[in-house]
Structure 1
Amino acid sequence: MVRLRAPHGRNPHELGAMDLDEHLSDRKRKVKYVQTMFDILAPGYDAFTKVFSFGMDSRWKALLVAEGVRRAPKDPVLVDLACGTGDLGSELARLTSSPRTIGLDLSKVMLAEAKTRLNGRKNIHLAACDMLQLCLPGDSADMVSIGYGLRNTPDVRAALREVARVLKPGGVLLNLDFNRPVNPVWRELFLWYIWNFGRIAGWLWHREPITYGYIAPSIRRYLTIPEFEQELAAAGFTVEFRASRLNGAIGIHVARLAKA
């Protein structure tokens, strides 16, 4: 396994110097922690995701994309939040023939990786933006996709309100993320695996265990699938498609915003 070096002088040990519990408990600190973390992880993020999920991530995203394509209007305006390296948004753009797709991410290093992956595709535009304060006008998007993003925001409810603001009435949200399993026995087994595998991977990739050690605590503090669906309803969405994988540890949702 190749050890990857973070670009732009970001040292993986920056994360090791931060108190993870304190940063997860404080809104501003969590934003700083997540941004630093993804700046460090960006170069090897796609490779790690495949290894970490035993290749299942691509199948989960393919299912989400297929359900999105079924619901996409002609020539949709797409927004991919927490776009990372751009794999989810670019595939949606390709299959829906979107004339304009906007990829937004808090990490400029992730956006640099996305720019390289997209290789000059003129219908996809990238920008650095906070999910809690989207740099987009209201009623401007037909579809918003989020892959592993909402769990990393310090305020899920506020983020969903922002998604509802930028979507046109009747617009569609596609979401894929880890969720906190409901079953307590499975939850502890799953989080034990995620914690230990993440720390081993963090050491092998970056010589800093906590680089991927964040995942398990973030899942423990996150929503179960039923709780997430309650938040969707509170923001004005109706779930049209749901799928659960890994006994509730992965949630795949397609939800439609109420029409005006």
Structure 2
Amino acid sequence: MSEQNKDNTTHFGFKSVPLEEKTRHVADVFHSVAAKYDVMNDLMSGGIHRLWKRITIERSGARRGHKVLDIAGGTGDLTKKFSRIVGPEGKVILADINESMLNVGRDKLINSGVAGNVEYVQANAEALPFEDNSFDIITIAFGLRNVTDKDKAIRSMLRCLKPGGKLMILEFSKTENPALTKLYDFYSFNILPQMGQLIAKDSESYRYLAESIRMHPDQETLKEMMVDAGFVNCRYENMTGGIVALHTGIKP
């Protein structure tokens, strides 16, 4: 499933924009919110994003000596945990297309004492600048919905994984309960932009984030996209009633 329409437009939230402009629009959003990203994450989710990420780490099977790629790694929450697990014999690459986010992540991790086994790379998920069969684990947490061509990105991740390597996509998804969906929609479109204005002085970026979640493929569709790309043993685990889902797949 591709977001590209016949007239070479794609979704930017609920809007249609020329295909070549989406990356710039997304970049503007994250340049704007980078400095307040961690604060807003805690406020928006009530801190639950930490639980979602901890479950992702637990399901990863990461161990000492592994090489891990954290795509759209942002401010480095997953990278920090993986760095400790893989140890000095391993390596973690924090990759993000957005320079502002990458800089915030680098500063945060260095200040917290993470150094030797972490590298920082500005990279587009659709064309990852890494050799074939390089990584034991690739994660992308809350980043895939911002990618213009998701199919291309998933294929790029497959190429970079070692045979037997695991892809983990942690992303907002579709709720299962109608009452929860109604409550979640009210929060997303009424409360969230106000919080963004109050904390980050930017309501529009957080309105886009809410819209981008609604435009993201549902659980079964994303699973099929992974299968179509060539992954096997594809599955997903819903968290918090399906507000978030963790998809996993293995490179054969």
TM-score relative to the length of structure 1: 0.84
The equivalent of 1:147 in structure 2 is 141
State which of 59, 79, 100 in structure 2 corresponds to 1:67. 59
Structure 1 residues 23 and 104, CA gap change in structure 2 (3 angstroms): farther
What's 1:225 paired with?
219
Structure 1 gap segments, 5+ residues each = 1-18
1:90 pairs with one of 57, 62, 80: 80
Question: Cα offset for 1:238?
Answer: 2.8
> Does the CA contact (< 8 Å) of 1:129 and 1:135 recur in 2?
yes
Aligned-residue identity in percent: 26
Report the number of matched residues: 238
SS in structure 1 at match of 2:221: helix
Indicate conservation of the 8 Å contact 2:158/2:230, yes or no: yes
Matching of residue 108 in structure 1 with residue 99 in structure 2: yes
How big is each residue's C-alpha offset from its partner over 1:201-248, in whole Å with a ceiling of 9 and x where there is no partner? 121023331121112211111111111111111122234663212322
Name 1:31's counterpart in structure 2. Answer: 23
Partner of 1:191: 185
* Equivalent residue letter for 1:101: V
Contact 1:79 1:102 survives alignment (8 Å): yes
Distance (Å, rounded) in 1 between the aligned partners of 2:192 and 2:249: 31
1:187, distance to aligned residue in structure 2 (A): 3.6
Distance 1:92-1:241 versus aligned 2 partners, 3 A rule? farther
Q: 1:238 aligns with which of 215, 232, 237?
A: 232
How many Å apart are 1:134 and its aligned residue? 0.8
SS of alignment partner, residue 59 of structure 2: helix
Between stretches 149-158 and 243-252, larger displacement belongs to: 243-252
1:77 to 50, 58, 67: 67
- The residue number in structure 1 matching 2:36 is 44
Do 2:90 and 2:117's aligned partners in 1 also have CA atoms closer than 8 Å?
yes
In structure 2, the gaps of 5 or more residues are: 1-10
SS in 1 for 2:125: coil
Q: Distance in 2 between matches of 1:104 and 1:181?
A: 29
The corresponding residue for 1:205 is 199
Residues 217 and 148 from structure 1, CA distance in 2 versus in 1: closer, same or farther, beyond 3 angstroms? same
Q: Which shows bigger deviation, 184-193 or 150-159?
A: 184-193
CA contact (8 A) 1:198 1:212 kept: yes
Write the letter of the residue equivalent to 2:20: K
Q: Does 1:118 align with 2:118?
A: no
Q: 2:49 aligns with which of 40, 54, 57?
A: 57
The one-letter amino acid paired with 1:128 is Q
Bigger mean CA deviation after superposition, 76-85 or 188-197: 188-197
RMSD, aligned CA: 2.1
Work out the CA distance in 1 between the residues paired with 2:12 and 2:92: 34
Please give the TM-score of this superposition, normalised by the length of structure 2.
0.86
The answer as to whether partners of 1:24 and 1:218 remain within 8 angstroms in 2 is no
